[in-house]
Amino acid sequence: MADSPDAEKRSIDPEVEKALPSPLADAIRRGSVPEDILKHSHDADEALKAFASHDGQVLQLDEATNKRLLRKIDWNLMPIMCVVYGLNYLDKTSISYASVMGIKKDIGLVGDNYQWLGSMFYFGYIAWEYPTNRLLQRLPLGKYSSFNVIMWGATLACFAAVSNFAGAVAVRFFLGVFEAAVTPGFALLTSQWYTKAEQGTRVGIWFSFNGWAQIFGGLVAYAISKGTTQHPASLAGWKIVFLFIGLLTSTIGVIFLFVVPDSQLNARWLSKGDRILAIERVRINQQGIGNKHFKMYQLREALIDPLTWAFVFYALVADIPNGGISNFFSQLITSFGYTSEQSLLYGTPGGIVEVVALVVCGYLGDRYKNRILIATSGLVIAILGMALIVGLPLKSNSGRLAGYYLTQASPTPFVAFLSLIASNVAGYTKKTTVAALYLIGYCIGNIIGPQVFRPKDAPRYVPAEITIIACWAVCLVDMFFIYWYCRRQNSQKATLRAQPGYVKLENQEFLDLTDRENPEFVYTL
């Protein structure tokens, strides 16, 4: 794009100017970015490497080519991401199955030891969340993610060798350390490979495998519990659960290493031509595919952006209920009047509710271009479910169990916001920072959650259940704030683009600009 003699000089934030090579900063002031500067700028997005030897002709993707590429991407990425994410849920909640299979007695858990084991996972998670996000930016994304999958599977298998509370604490802590990479890593993969219009549905699909994992885990735990009761084995049933799930996870992690690339640039299942087209199809996101350089101004922007803290607040408050329910659902079901074995089996339909809620809300959110408001439906259903648990008498076993099933629709807003971090936060350093803060909020909420289920409140756990309803009600208010804020930002950006003399930079989509500094960026609702 040639410089226009009439173009007005553009100003640059001083912090942005420091981060840019001086020729690139000069070009931005002039309203143009020469191709030779873009190709060699270490500060630009990795996507520009794909076009370094390109002859300059603008690539146009017809609908048939776009659909062909999308099918290929889906078939190669989504199955392995879904399986790994399901195992991610199963691995950290397997302790809930073990809690009704004899682990408390076998390793001498007393008092609130079990509650602290539930929380200890999140201490490891929170301690490593920001470092692992930096490593996700700095290291090859696919390889680093696979390393963590293999290691958390091996760590979980070690639980079978635990003989006391101290050993269990160590395993739960390191399980959290290695699992800290999966959710932010998958959010980065989704933003890297899919357009904004596709991201909500895909995040909903891979996150919904939490529900499938709940079904699978409950059936496996029930089968092992039944089998070891009728035919005693040399290993306790809960040890077999940890060995089976842990070794399965590590095996899937090895497969992940060979299937999931670091980016479009080294996807072995795409031809060289298709690799370039796969990058071109996400140009519309205004985000590129990755930048390995840390930028202090983007960190600062993340820390002062109201949207960041609205996301973090939601994650913290919403995951107080999640931390309690995910660690106590087996014991909650037994409090309805069912046996320990029945609780393993009767917990599985809750997974079906979660799967349906996440997939339907993800699809409708993308179709009607409003993920936030559609996601509120899941939270309203969950509040209704918890109200049934609180309000119905103890003898209403089936009604209270139905209420538990309805609470499993609660993750829909959390997943919607996870997809919005992929869609609405641009600038690779800023995106990894916001993702880290969001998941730190998630950890704090999950640390608090198990502590609200106090043994003295059994069997009804009324204080915990009322706390959960209050948390979800506050979350609804936060969701409406995020919706209003994104609409307001879009309106301001539209006004800026309409001003006389506005100039769009060449290859602006791949300059690793943040969502706030890029006038072309449009927030997804």
Distance CA(38)–CA(45), nearest Å, equals 9
Write the Ramachandran bin of 109: left for phi over 0, alpha for psi from -120 to 50, otherwise beta.
beta
Q: How many other C-beta atoms are found inside a 10 Å radius of the C-beta of residue 71?
A: 10
CA 57 to the chain's CA centroid: 37
3-state helix, strand, coil in the chain (%, to 5): 75, 0, 25
Tens-digit pLDDT string for the chain (525 aa): 344 444 444 454 554 444 444 444 554 454 444 343 344 344 555 555 555 555 444 556 788 888 999 999 999 999 999 999 999 888 877 887 777 778 888 888 888 888 788 778 888 999 999 999 889 988 999 999 999 999 999 999 999 899 899 999 999 999 999 999 999 999 989 988 999 889 889 999 998 998 888 788 777 777 777 766 676 666 787 888 899 989 999 999 999 999 999 988 889 999 888 888 888 888 777 676 666 778 888 999 999 999 999 999 999 999 998 877 776 666 677 777 777 777 777 777 888 898 999 999 999 998 888 999 999 999 999 999 999 988 888 778 888 888 888 999 999 999 999 989 988 998 888 988 999 999 999 889 888 887 787 777 776 778 888 899 999 999 999 999 999 999 999 998 888 888 887 777 666 666 778 888 888 888 988
CA atoms within 13 A on the CB side of 232: 1
Backbone dihedral region of 90: left (phi > 0), alpha (psi from -120 to 50 degrees) or beta?
A: alpha
Q: Which residue has the tokens 């072309």?
A: 520
Q: For the chain, what is the total number of helices (H) and then of strands (E)?
A: 23, 0
Degrees (nearest 5) of the Cα angle 257, 291, 192?
55
Measured between alpha carbons, how far is 186 from 383 in angstroms, rounded to an integer?
A: 28
- Residue 408 DSSP class: T
> From CA 362, how far away is CA 364, in angstroms rounded?
6
Which three-class secondary structure state does DSSP give residue 66? Answer: helix
Q: What are phi and psi of 220, to 5 degrees?
A: -65, -45
Please say whether the dihedral angle defined by the alpha carbons of residues 377, 380, 384 and 385, taken in this order, is positive or negative.
Answer: positive
> How far is Cα 188 from Cα 133, in angstroms, rounded to an integer?
10
Tokens of 308: 């960041």
| Distance from C-alpha of 106 to C-alpha of 238, rounded to nearest angstrom | 10
DSSP string, 390-401: HHS-TT-HHHHH
Q: Which residues contact 266 (CB under 8 A, 6 or more apart)?
A: none
**Tokens representing 257?**
């290493």
Report which of 341, 447, 350 is spatially closest to residue 97, judged by C-alpha positions: 341
Write down the pLDDT at residue 417: 94
Q: Is 454 helix (H, G, I), strand (E, B) or coil?
A: coil
Q: In whole angstroms, what is the distance from residue 417 CA to residue 440 CA?
A: 14
Report pTM.
0.79
* Fold of the domain built from segment(s) 63-492: Growth Hormone; Chain: A; (1.20.1250)
Pick the closest to residue 15 from 318, 396, 302, 213 (CA basis): 302
The tokens of 147 are what? 């390393």
Task: Say whether 236 sits in a helix, a strand or coil.
Answer: coil
Element (H, E) at 428: helix 428-448
Q: Are 325 and 453 in contact (CB under 8 A)?
A: no
Q: What is the pLDDT of residue 12?
A: 47
C-alpha distance across the termini of the chain, in Å? 32
Cα separation, 214 vs 212, whole angstroms: 5
How far is residue 62's CA from residue 502's CA, in Å, rounded to a whole number? 29
- Fill in the amino acid letter for 60: Q
